[in-house]
Amino acid sequence: MSRPHKEIVLPAELSKELADIYGAMEAGYDQLAAEVGLTCNGCPDNCCDSYFLHHTYCEWAYLWQGLRELDKQQRLLIVERAEKYVEESRAQLARQQRPQIMCPLNMEGLCGLYKHRMLVCRMHGIPATMTRPDGQSMRFPGCFRCQEIVKEKYDSPDDAPAMDRTPLFRKMVAVESRLLGDKRHLMPRVKLTIAEMIVQGPPALPVPHCER
């Protein structure tokens, strides 16, 4: 018999904190993109068909918060598209291929859940750096178009400006910790596509025997 679960609901104060973090990401992205000279206008690629995995319960809950703000018909359409995405992506992975399938939230080229889009969706494209908890520094070159611009404008990729993701990631970790509280150690690590988060439904906590 499966263990009972209780849906993880993002409290209003944490929802606002997450929205503020996203806002800071957008501001940093816009500033860095302008400095480098990166724009999506006329780009032949579409990052919405990139295979991204997402890793936090707070973003998962925030995604479902947005889904519930849609009308029922649109939400059911997205769920149906997500189910097809999951099926096809698993088939491609089984063939040792990296999936390249349009995100189920993409509606005629626009995100159908723009306000609630994920961290990776907001940060993809620009050069960025991050310091991991173990102290190791990482650098991300940005999308292929950004790399082409950097190659033309700078002597070395390391000479190009880069956005430091570390402070914003730390704030998100703090939101995650407060959301899960003392149940955090009970939760498996999140490693899901947006489609899988939609198909699986809202995130949930296991309910201890004493609370049933």
CA angle 61, 66, 67 (to 5 degrees): 95
Domains: count for the chain? 1
144 within some domain? yes
150 within some domain? yes
206 within some domain? no
The model's pTM is: 0.89
What's the average model confidence in pLDDT over 158-186?
92
The answer to whether the CB of 196 falls within 8 A of the CB of 177 is: no
79 within some domain? yes
211 within some domain? no
For CA atoms 182, 54, 11, 74, give the dihedral sign. Answer: negative
Residue of higher predicted confidence among 175 and 46: 175
Above 50 in pLDDT, residue 43? yes
205 within some domain? no
| Interior/surface letters 122-139, b for 16+ CB within 10 angstroms, e for the rest | bbbbbbbebeeeeeeeee
Q: Which of 124, 116, 142 is closest to 49 using CA atoms?
A: 124
Domain membership of residue 141 as a residue range: 5-199
Above 80 in pLDDT, residue 129? yes
Question: What local confidence, expressed as pLDDT, does residue 182 receive?
Answer: 86
The answer to whether the CB of 1 falls within 8 A of the CB of 198 is: no
87 within some domain? yes
Residue 192: strand, helix, or coil? strand
Distance of CA 188 to the CA centre of its chain: 18
Question: What local confidence, expressed as pLDDT, does residue 212 receive?
Answer: 47
Cα torsion 151, 154, 159, 161 to 10°: value is -80
Taking the C-alpha atoms of residue 38 and residue 150, their distance in angstroms, rounded to an integer, is 9
30 within some domain? yes
Above 70 in pLDDT, residue 3? no
99 residue type, one letter: P
